[in-house]
Structure 1
Amino acid sequence: MTTSLRTRRPAPSPPPPAAPQAPKGLLPVVLTATFMTTLDIFVVNVALPSLQADLGAGPAVVQWVMAGFSLALAAGLVTAGRLGDRYGRRRMFGLGLALFTLASAGCGLAPTAATLVGARVLQGLAAALMGPQVLTILRTAFAGAEQTRAFARYGLTMGVGGVFGQLIGGLLIRADLFGLGWRSCFLINLPIGLAALVMVRRCLPESRAPQRPGLDPVGVVLATASLTALLLPLIQGPQLGWPVWTHLCLGASVALLAAFAVHQHHATTTAHTLTASTPLVDTRLFRSRAFSAGVLAQLAFWLGQGSFFLVLALHLQFGRGLDALGAGLVFTAIGVGYLITSNATHRVTARLGDRGTITVGGLLMTAGLALLALSAYAASGAHSAADGSVWWLAPGLFVDGLGMGLVIAPVTSVVLEGVDPGLTGSAAGVVATVQQVGGALGIALIGLVYYGADDATAAFGHSVLALAALELLLVALVRLLPRRG
């Protein structure tokens, strides 16, 4: 009887298969690309005055040095994600890295402002080609705790590039290596990019979607047109005083985005037919609670990030009269806090889960920004503001940096968790696009708050108080995310 019962017991379940070991060097290679892209977004802020004087460029052309990069980057991300799914993520990453390195040389050697703008557009397209591949490679090459650690390193890299970008640019310009001045801010990418290129084939495994998707040419046109119509006025409008064409563009972007959504839904529902094209963005992605809520959380977070860095840079350089290097040194207060928590994010996530980690990070950022606002209001008109002292900002910046370090990695990884392997590239393109759109929209909205005040210190206080409200929105949206470890 006992023997019979024992024989009826189900055999124990076999242990789950171990995740394949990611090749050594994979993480440094893909994160090098992330660092260069992030650095080149922020380092240009420092280089603008000197390159304008050197090339004899007018204000409109100088604006396009920044706008050309941002537009090309944002408009190409969704398409680039699908290109990786179809032709291979390593291949597209390597192509993007090679083009980015070449474009950086073009920027650093540009004889005229027009040449520089063209090279910056090429840089943006190359960065768009790399961005979704990085997220997809991290999602497919790692699993479990290793994936959490990989995304933590991704967040650390983005933060270091963003927080220390201005300081690095200031140091490069101050050092004036070989008399290159502002050009060294771009040429520094050459040795870094070439070294990473050498390692691509050795360190990155090739991967594609299980069923190689088509390119959906109608979707490509609609996505590019709608994002350009949305971002161009957001980038140029604040500097130009919002002329009529910016309002027309924003109206057109709504219609184009609606057409894109309808086309993608139709392409998704008819994808099984022989004549149908594969959608750029498979709308089945949004049936996932983690993806939909995660995209909203991403949007809330990046609405605040780009605008915060801009408002802080404006306040330090124009409100307090610091040069690029001095402003960069103040940014280190954020960097110290960021480095402390971003290095421990994977351990915090293992203990609190994604929702808990993002919530703690969002509350810390809210507290830091509120402290900055209180400090600004207290300093407005006081001696500490009048004599240019800015170290009253340090405590709030440090706390804000602590919160940032806990948010960037999990708010990115949670969106891609559970995405079907065939849709990973499409999902990564959406995530990267939301980051760029959120940043541009945040700059436009917070710019209205900043420029709406007369006193520079009070303007900074109003702005960071509005940003604190955005972080509370992030905390609220996090509650929509499903619970997981």
Structure 2
Amino acid sequence: MAGLDPRTAARRRSQALAIGLVAAFMTLLDVSIVNVALPSIDRAVGADPSDLQWIVSGYALTFGLLLVPAGRFGDARGRRTVFVVGLGLFTLTSAAAGVAGSPTWLIIARLLQGAAAGLVNPQVIGLIQQLYHGAERGRPFGLLGATIGVSTGVGPLLGGGLIELGGQQLGWRLVFFVNVPVGIATIVLAWRLLPAGPGRRAVDGRNLDPVGVLLLGVGVVFLLLPLVQQRQWQGPLKWLLIPAGLLVLLGFVGWELRYRRHRVPLFDLALFRLRSYLLGTLIGLLYFGGFVAIFFLFTLYLQTGLRYTALQAGLAVTPFAAGSAVTAALGGRIINRFGRPLVAIGLATVAIGLVGVIVALHFVPGRGAPLVTALPLLVAGLGSGLVITPNQNLTLSEVPVAQAGSAAGMLQTAQRIGAATGIAGVGMIFFSTLAATGNGWSRAFRDALLATTGFVVIALVAAIVDSWTERPGSPARAGGAG
């Protein structure tokens, strides 16, 4: 925003940030909001369990698939263009999902909607890296972290409210239609207010690395597909896709190392030489392995196991979202002072809160679950706000602006893989316990929470190791190199 006076430039930056946060909220909300609508969708369009699984997991699959290529394309050709195109596709596919008359139609709309979300999200982080520098990134990253926490946690509540408002036949359609007016308004404002040019440099079409895009895409699909479909695909053969995916990703690494000798690669693997980026990506993968599973299983436990309504189930997870929103904004402001130890404190607080939920459900199982878990969920949420935002800030602190989109895309891809792994692994424990106990929903949920806590504890170990080895005065501690 060169050429503007400081006051005008600051106002334009704030406006651009607000537009990015609205888009991030919309796309991340659709990860969780659909969960509470599944019973209504089942009755309205006659979806079987496999269809319902694809409606939920198909979005996550294509979301994760597009993150790195979209981030790279935004770095190369201008983040505003990719942002507006992605948001336009997201708005159109949301409308298409809302008017779906069959399971197949809805699944296709959700796959395309997830791909559009994958186009949008790396641009938001890339814009923050582009518009803010050094320690001043703390505030926008704090607001983005609050957006992530609130959108994930409030999804079931908003979905339940819309279903209550529209009834069983119309309510689930409102879950998708709500994106349309917001999306249109955001597109108009984005085209006017976001910076028009590419981040720092333009590249020609040969540098967009189509082979790298293909290898990474195939590898990510092979990894995610057996995880998101593990309950629908019977038999052990599906797990062969995971080693196949790892082999393809190994081929991707080899290709990128060769490609970078002559041109700009899809993703610069040298970023993993940055200690802050490597450990931050690992922490993000592990934490999202537990973080997302909490909402998936809790809403399932309340709606299917305890027969609560969609709105009641949404209200029950609100304490976590509220706690996360409060500390995420704070965490973004104080991360420059405390560095990685703040993330470790947040992870420890999440673990304490989850253990509190387990203890509460042990003494008060059944219909009293939402009441007795409110306080420990609030504690876990307060901790979560000190994890997502500060970790994101530290992870990207030493990344050059020209690579911000692809670096953010890889970080979010790791988070999506972690989320899919967590839901698959923790879900397997949940349903195995449920089958073994006959109808022991409370026991199954407690066992699943133990596994979720395990993900958080392993992430805590990584954060502690990073804290012990963090160099005084490093860019990670100082808020970034700009």
User: Which structure would you say has the larger Rg?
Assistant: 1
Name 1:309's counterpart in structure 2: 295
Distance 2:129 2:362 in 1: 44
Worse-superposed segment, 52-61 or 338-347: 338-347
Partner SS, residue 208 of structure 2? coil
Distance 2:150 2:307 in 1: 24
Which residue of the other structure, out of 349, 353, 360, is the alignment partner of 1:364?
Answer: 349
Distance apart, 1:412 and its partner CA = 1.0
CA deviation digits over 1:305-324, x for unaligned, max 9? 11111121222222322121
- Unaligned regions of 5+ residues in structure 1, if any? 1-17, 272-276, 380-384
Instruction: Please list, as runs of the form range in 1=range in 2, the aligned pairs for 1:21-100 lying within 5 A after superposition.
Output: 21=10, 22-100=12-90
Aligned AA (1:220): V
Aligned AA (1:443): I
Distance 2:168 2:103 in 1: 21
Distance apart, 1:179 and its partner CA = 6.8
Does residue 252 of structure 1 match 2:255?
A: no
Aligned AA (1:362): L
Name 1:107's counterpart in structure 2: 97
Asked if 1 retains the 8 angstrom alpha-carbon contact of 2:72 and 2:405, the reply is: yes
Asked if 2 retains the 8 angstrom alpha-carbon contact of 1:78 and 1:281, the reply is: yes
Does residue 186 of structure 1 match 2:176?
A: yes
TM-score (norm 2): 0.90
Aligned AA (2:426): I
Asked if 2 retains the 8 angstrom alpha-carbon contact of 1:210 and 1:421, the reply is: no
Asked if 2 retains the 8 angstrom alpha-carbon contact of 1:321 and 1:388, the reply is: no
CA deviation digits over 1:379-417, x for unaligned, max 9? 3xxxxx245553111121111011011111111111111
Partner SS, residue 256 of structure 1? helix
Aligned AA (2:417): V
Does residue 292 of structure 1 match 2:278?
A: yes
Asked if 2 retains the 8 angstrom alpha-carbon contact of 1:226 and 1:254, the reply is: yes
Name 1:334's counterpart in structure 2: 320
Name 1:212's counterpart in structure 2: 203
Distance 2:373 2:366 in 1: 14
**C-alpha spacing 1:178/1:364, structure 2 compared with 1 (3 Å):** closer
Distance 1:403 1:361 in 2: 4
Instruction: Please list, as runs of the form range in 1=range in 2, the aligned pairs for 1:54-453 lying within 5 A after superposition.
Output: 54-176=44-166, 180-206=170-196, 207-212=198-203, 214-241=207-234, 243-268=235-260, 270-271=261-262, 277-351=263-337, 353-379=338-364, 385-453=365-433
Distance apart, 1:95 and its partner CA = 0.5
Asked if 1 retains the 8 angstrom alpha-carbon contact of 2:62 and 2:115, the reply is: yes
**C-alpha spacing 1:186/1:463, structure 2 compared with 1 (3 Å):** same
Distance 1:452 1:244 in 2: 16
Aligned residues: 455
- Percent same amino acid among aligned pairs? 36
Aligned AA (1:212): V
Distance apart, 1:111 and its partner CA = 2.4
CA deviation digits over 1:101-135, x for unaligned, max 9? 11111111122221111111111111111111111
TM-score (norm 1): 0.89
- Unaligned regions of 5+ residues in structure 2, if any? 1-5, 472-476
**C-alpha spacing 1:178/1:400, structure 2 compared with 1 (3 Å):** closer
Distance 2:101 2:70 in 1: 30
Distance apart, 1:183 and its partner CA = 0.5
Partner SS, residue 222 of structure 2? helix
